[in-house]
């Protein structure tokens, strides 16, 4: 979050007090969201993904599904080409908490690597709790969309070396559910995840979180471990 330059001490005190209050509000909202999410064994959500970078002339839209079990860092992300009349699978990212498989449909290739469960790693299972480590957060108010009220919280990474400088979360005030997450890239790009559905306590067998080579005939396995 960009620091504000204050001209006089009284203004500084007023703004500092307001910011502290907003930070406290953000913490209450995020803690409530995290507590509810952690109470579920597993969740499933369908989402829209928009990638927009006007400077680079990039604008892409995809749809996807996330199944996650946060307690064990297990997840499965399935991405589809949204431009098709019938959604076509393009990529899958699967982790059992120890290994990660990245399946590329066009190449019929799966890349096998060790799961990265660190704070720096890509871990969709922690999307609802990512704020807990390495982020500052600020409540910026409410937005009303299609009759629903959303609480807006901005996350700023404490590590300035990250490729993005802000994540904006919109949380359904009534349902206490994440509605969208917008990532602001330092190169001018924006990635926006909007949740279409949310299924708590989704019944996901353990086979969900492992790549099934038998169901992908002829797939090439590239071991990167």
pLDDT, tens digit, 9 for 90 and up, residues 9-64: 222 333 333 444 458 899 999 989 888 888 899 999 998 988 888 777 888 888 98
Q: What is the 3-state secondary structure of 115-164?
A: CCCCCCCCCHHHCCCHHHCCEEEEEEEEEEECCEEEEEEEEEECCCCCCE
Residue 174 has pLDDT above 80, yes or no: yes
How many CB atoms sit inside 10 A of residue 130's CB? 19
pLDDT at position 83 = 61
pLDDT, tens digit, 9 for 90 and up, residues 83-135: 666 778 899 999 999 999 999 999 999 999 998 776 555 567 666 777 777 88
pLDDT at position 8 = 25
> What does the angle CA 89 – CA 91 – CA 96 come to, to the nearest 5 degrees?
120
């Amino acid at each position: 979050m960009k620091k504000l330059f204050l001209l006089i001490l009284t203004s500084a005190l007023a703004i500092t007090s307001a910011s502290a209050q907003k930070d406290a509000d953000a913490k209450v909202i995020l803690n409530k969201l995290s507590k509810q999410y952690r109470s579920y064994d597993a969740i499933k959500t369908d989402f829209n993904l928009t990638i927009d970078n006007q400077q680079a002339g990039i604008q892409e839209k995809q749809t996807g599904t996330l199944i996650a079990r946060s307690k064990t860092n297990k997840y499965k992300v399935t991405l589809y080409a949204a431009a098709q009349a019938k959604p076509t699978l393009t990529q899958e990212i699967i982790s059992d908490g120890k290994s990660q498989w990245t399946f590329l449909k066009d190449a019929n290739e799966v890349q096998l690597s060790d799961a990265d469960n660190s704070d720096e790693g890509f871990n969709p299972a922690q999307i609802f709790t990512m704020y807990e480590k390495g982020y500052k957060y600020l409540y910026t108010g409410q937005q009303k969309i299609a009759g629903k009220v959303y609480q807006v919280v901005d996350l700023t990474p404490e590590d300035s070396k990250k490729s993005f400088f802000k994540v904006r979360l919109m949380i359904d005030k009534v349902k206490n559910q994440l509605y969208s997450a917008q990532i602001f890239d330092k190169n001018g790009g924006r990635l926006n995840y909007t949740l279409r559905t949310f299924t708590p306590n989704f019944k996901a067998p353990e086979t969900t979180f492992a790549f099934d080579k038998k169901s992908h005939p002829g797939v090439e396995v590239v071991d990167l471990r």
